[in-house]
Amino acid sequence: MSETDPGFIAAVEEARQGFSEGGVPIGACLVSKDGKILGRGHNMRVQKGSATLHGEISALENSGRLPASAYAGATMYTTLSPCDMCTGACVMYKVARVVIGENKTFVGGEEYLKKRGIEVVVFENQECMGLMKKFIEEKPRVWYVETLPPTLPLSLPPVLIPAYVLLESSSPPLTCLQCSNNGIHRNEDIGED
């Protein structure tokens, strides 16, 4: 497995395409055990308003309806660690290997894949990391749409969104130890006059 594999190159091309369309830059390519590209695709959540058309699902969709034997032993190349849904699809279709461009931005179901006997390879590819970094900087609300708390102030600067998400989603909740109101702050509590 290397970053020059045709399947990985195709996945990166798909990520670039998604980014150029204004979507989440995650690409994927499904390659049969004999090296034939079965399908490739990119995340279309933004472009098609889809909750489920992630890169890996798009690659499976674009492979068409094939017999189960076509997927068995295949390799799924993806530019970002797969989410639970895409991890499940790889397990369901008996993909033998998942090759990941990067898992610094998001760590998905890698451990589950391994537990199910699927080989996992991570490249830490600089282009994949760069595409995600640029996308999140430019469109943080799009990236965090699935994890944004409903209490997110619309006026919050984009650079603070990741910290806000972390604070809101931590369990137990992160709190301020210096206050008497259980760590809950509003603008008027912070001393903004």
Per DSSP bridges, beta strands 119-122 and 37-42 are: unpaired
Contact 61, 43 (CB under 8 A): no
- Evaluate the CA torsion angle 93, 94, 100, 106 in order and state its sign: positive
Catalytic residues: 56
HEC secondary structure over 111-170? HHHHHCCCEEEECCCHHHHHHHHHHHHHCHHHHHHHCCCCCCCCCCCHHHHHHHHHHHHC
What are the Cα distances from residue 112, in Å, to 39, 104, 169? 24, 17, 22
Per DSSP bridges, beta strands 75-78 and 97-100 are: parallel
What is the length of the chain? 193
